[in-house]
C-alpha cells in the first residue's frame, strides 16, 4: 500500500523544459552555438540533474575548460533570475498532475525532490500556490539520491510504502539507489524501466 509519494518537479508538475533550455541558451549566449547545442542535448537527456552540474559539465566536458565553484554559482544565479521571471506563470503547470495533487494531498504524504535549485523551487511553489500540498520541498545543489534518502530517514518511511514519480533517468536512478519503486511519467523512454508508467493522472495510485 502506497502512503508516501516523492514528486519530481520539472516535467511532472510543471512543463518547464523549454523555459530551462531558453535559460541555458541565454546565460551562455556569448559561447558558440554548437557547444551550447551539445549542452542542451545533455540537459534534455538528464532532466533530473541540477543546473550546477550542467554548468560544470558544459565547461569541463564540452568546452574542456576549468571553472571555479564561484563562477558556477554566478552562472547559476543568472539562470535562477530568468527562471523566477518565467516560471511563475500558472500556464506552465501540468493541469492533470496538479489536479491529482490537490485532490489527494490528504490521502498521501507528498514531498517534492527536484534538480531545481532549492530556494528557486520553494519560491515557485509559493507563487504558484502549491506549497500547502507538500510536507516538504527540496531541491539542488543536494543530489536527488541524497534528498530521497534524507526524506525516507527523517520521516521514517517504509520503503515498500514509498514511491518516486519522475520523468527522467536520473529520477529512476534515485529511486533504485534508495530501494523504492519508480513510477514513470511524461517520458515514453521510461516505460521499460518503471514498475508502473503513468499515462495520465485520471487514476488512483
The 3-state secondary structure of 142-195 reads CCHHHHHHHHHHHCCCCHHHEEEEECCHHHHHHHHHCCCEEEEECCHHHCCCCC
**Among 77, 125, 89, residue whose Cα is nearest residue 105:** 125
State the DSSP code for 30. T
Round the average pLDDT of the chain to a whole number and report it.
94
* pLDDT reading at 72 higher than 80: yes
| Strand ordering across the sheet containing 196-198 | 136-140, 109-117, 4-7, 162-166, 181-185, 196-198
Helix 33-45 vs helix 17-27: crossing angle, to nearest 10? 150
Cell (9 digits) for 167: 520523468
**Which set of grid coordinates corresponds to residue 111?**
514531498
State the number of CA atoms in the 13 A half-sphere of 124 facing the CB: 31
CA distances from 204 to 1, 64, 107, 198 (A): 12, 48, 11, 10
Instruction: Please report which confidence band the pLDDT of residue 194 belongs to, taking 50, 70 and 90 as the band edges.
Output: confident
Model confidence pLDDT, tens digit, residues 163-190: 999 999 999 999 999 999 999 999 999 9
Give the Cβ contact number of residue 28 at 10 Å: 21
Q: What is the pTM of this model?
A: 0.86
**Residue 10, strand partner residues:** 14
pLDDT score at 205: 60
Nearest by Cα to 147 from 125, 164, 124, 160: 164
The conformation of residue 49, written as its DSSP 8-state character, comes to S
Amino acid at each position: 500500500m502506497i502512503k508516501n509519494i516523492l514528486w519530481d518537479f520539472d516535467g511532472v508538475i510543471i512543463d518547464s523544459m523549454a523555459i530551462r533550455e531558453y535559460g541555458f541558451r541565454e546565460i551562455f549566449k556569448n559561447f558558440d552555438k554548437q557547444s551550447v547545442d551539445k549542452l542542451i542535448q545533455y540537459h534534455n537527456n538528464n532532466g533530473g540533474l541540477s543546473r550546477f552540474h550542467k554548468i560544470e559539465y558544459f565547461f569541463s566536458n564540452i568546452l574542456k575548460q576549468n571553472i571555479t565553484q564561484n563562477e558556477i554559482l554566478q552562472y547559476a544565479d543568472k539562470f535562477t533570475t530568468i527562471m523566477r521571471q518565467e516560471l511563475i506563470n500558472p500556464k506552465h503547470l501540468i493541469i492533470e498532475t496538479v489536479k491529482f495533487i490537490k485532490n489527494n494531498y490528504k490521502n498521501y504524504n507528498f514531498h517534492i525532490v527536484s534538480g531545481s535549485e532549492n530556494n528557486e523551487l520553494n519560491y515557485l511553489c509559493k507563487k504558484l500556490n502549491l506549497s500547502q500540498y507538500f510536507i516538504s520541498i527540496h531541491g539542488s545543489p543536494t543530489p536527488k539520491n541524497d534528498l530521497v534518502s534524507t526524506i525516507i530517514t527523517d520521516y521514517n518511511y517504509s520503503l515498500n510504502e514509498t514511491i518516486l514519480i519522475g520523468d527522467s533517468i536520473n529520477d529512476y536512478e534515485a529511486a533504485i539507489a534508495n530501494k523504492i519503486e519508480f513510477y514513470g511519467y511524461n517520458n515514453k523512454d521510461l516505460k521499460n524501466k518503471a514498475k508502473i508508467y503513468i499515462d495520465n493522472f485520471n487514476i488512483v495510485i
